[in-house]
């Protein structure tokens, strides 16, 4: 059975959710008792500002299609965006505490984990929320707020651990990078997507599809470290070799088009070749 934090009249209540199993089923030790995805949906339904947003970055390939939920809405003001970020991160901490976990703030998200900072560490879910004032002409009163949840649904432990790593989770090691609690409250603390250079050996169904489909339209998002603005490059697969894909890029767009409210083209070369690891690219056409 899964539980989640439910919002009603500013009071946080525990609501019991039946997860499609009989009352005699045993609780899976690798699944959270309290679902952060369900709590997130209650958070979004709390007022019309949040509920008038849209689901974005819908994955058509495993593992994103199985475990990831992304959503974007237009805040009423800069202050409201800051308040929402703080409230959502507080909700993540309460849910993590209820699952007897610890929040570990990584570059791509805040991960709730068991046995934090040990070799036995295992992910439970991730929470990420940020705001941007890009596309101000489309969001007149305040910045866009984007949030993302990654959570196990019903996969075995080993399968879920592998999927979480593909989606940005970095297992414990003395070399991994963590960010402080104070930095998490900043609207641009997280990088926009998992850094594929961390685990170049990890491939997904999407990587394999791109690698074996010459002529496919693909995109690559690049965000310089320390910058709040990134760009998406779009082009056609020309060649695949030794785990890399060579693309003839013909367009450059502002921001990450997977979560952007509009495609805003940036002046660039008419054509340019970009050669990168297969798992750097995503299907975008």
What stretches of 4-134 show up as alpha helix (H) in DSSP?
36-44, 48-51, 64-67, 78-98
What is the spatial distance between Cα 82 and Cα 65, in angstroms, rounded to a whole number?
Answer: 29
The pLDDT value given to residue 143: 93
Q: Are residues 100 and 164 in the same domain?
A: yes
Helix axes 36-44, 78-98, angle to 10 degrees: 150
Q: Are residues 145 and 229 in the same domain?
A: no
Question: Which position has the token pair 């709590």?
Answer: 39
Tabulate helix, strand, coil % of the chain (nearest 5): 20, 30, 45
Query: Do the Cβ atoms of 167 and 150 come closer than 8 Å?
Result: yes
**Residue where one domain finishes, among candidates 153, 184, 215:** 184
Is residue 193 one of the residues assigned to a domain?
A: no
Q: What percent of the chain has pLDDT over 70?
A: 82
Q: Are residues 150 and 226 in the same domain?
A: no
Q: Are residues 223 and 176 in the same domain?
A: no
Overall average pLDDT of the 76-89 stretch:
95
Q: Are residues 71 and 178 in the same domain?
A: yes
CA distances from 197 to 11, 145, 168, 185 (A): 43, 27, 11, 26
User: How confident is the model over 102-146, as pLDDT tens digits?
Assistant: 999 998 899 999 999 999 999 999 999 999 888 888 888 889 999
Q: Are residues 167 and 252 in the same domain?
A: no
Residues paired with residue 275 on neighbouring β-strands, in sequence order = 246
The pLDDT value given to residue 10: 37
Tokens of 127: 């929470």
Q: Are residues 78 and 152 in the same domain?
A: yes
19: phi then psi, degrees, rounded to nearest 5: -100, 40
Is residue 259 one of the residues assigned to a domain?
A: yes
User: How confident is the model over 21-72, as pLDDT tens digits?
Assistant: 333 333 455 678 899 999 999 999 999 999 999 999 988 999 999 999 999 9
Q: Are residues 148 and 29 in the same domain?
A: yes
The pLDDT value given to residue 197: 36
Residues ≥6 apart with Cβ < 8 Å to 70? 55, 56, 57, 58, 146, 147, 148, 149, 258, 259
User: How confident is the model over 206-233, as pLDDT tens digits?
Assistant: 999 999 999 999 999 998 877 777 999 9
The pLDDT value given to residue 146: 95
> Domains in the chain: how many in total?
2
Is residue 189 one of the residues assigned to a domain?
A: no
- The parent domain of residue 256 ranges over 205-283
CA distances from 131 to 72, 125, 182, 258 (A): 9, 21, 16, 15
What is the spatial distance between Cα 114 and Cα 112, in angstroms, rounded to a whole number?
Answer: 7
Is residue 112 one of the residues assigned to a domain?
A: yes
């Amino acid at each position: 059975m899964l539980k989640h934090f439910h919002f009603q009249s500013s009071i946080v209540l525990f609501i019991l959710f039946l997860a499609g199993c009989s009352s005699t089923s045993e609780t899976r030790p690798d699944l959270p008792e309290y679902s952060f995805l369900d709590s997130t949906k209650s958070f979004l339904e709390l007022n019309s500002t949040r509920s008038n947003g849209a689901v974005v970055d819908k994955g058509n390939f495993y593992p994103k299609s199985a475990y990831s939920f992304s959503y974007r809405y237009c805040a009423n003001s800069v202050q409201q965006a800051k308040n929402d970020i703080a409230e959502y991160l507080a909700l993540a901490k309460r849910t993590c505490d209820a699952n007897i976990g610890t929040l570990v703030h990584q570059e791509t998200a805040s991960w709730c984990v068991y046995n934090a900072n040990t070799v036995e560490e295992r992910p439970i879910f991730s929470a990420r929320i940020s705001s941007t004032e890009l596309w101000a002409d489309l969001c007149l009163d305040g910045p866009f707020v984007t949030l993302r949840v990654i959570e196990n649904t019903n996969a075995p432990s080993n399968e879920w651990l592998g999927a979480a790593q593909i989606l940005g989770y970095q297992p414990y090691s003395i070399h991994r990078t963590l960010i402080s609690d104070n930095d998490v409250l900043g609207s641009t603390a997280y990088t926009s997507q998992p850094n594929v250079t961390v685990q170049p050996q990890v491939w997904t169904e999407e990587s394999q599809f791109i690698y074996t489909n010459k002529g496919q339209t693909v995109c690559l998002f690049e965000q310089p470290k320390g910058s709040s603005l990134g760009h998406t490059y779009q082009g056609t697969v020309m060649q695949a070799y030794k785990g890399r894909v060579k693309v003839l890029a013909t367009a450059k767009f502002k921001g990450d088009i997977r979560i952007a409210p509009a495609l805003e083209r940036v002046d660039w070369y008419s054509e340019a070749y970009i050669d990168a690891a297969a798992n750097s690219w995503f299907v975008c056409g």
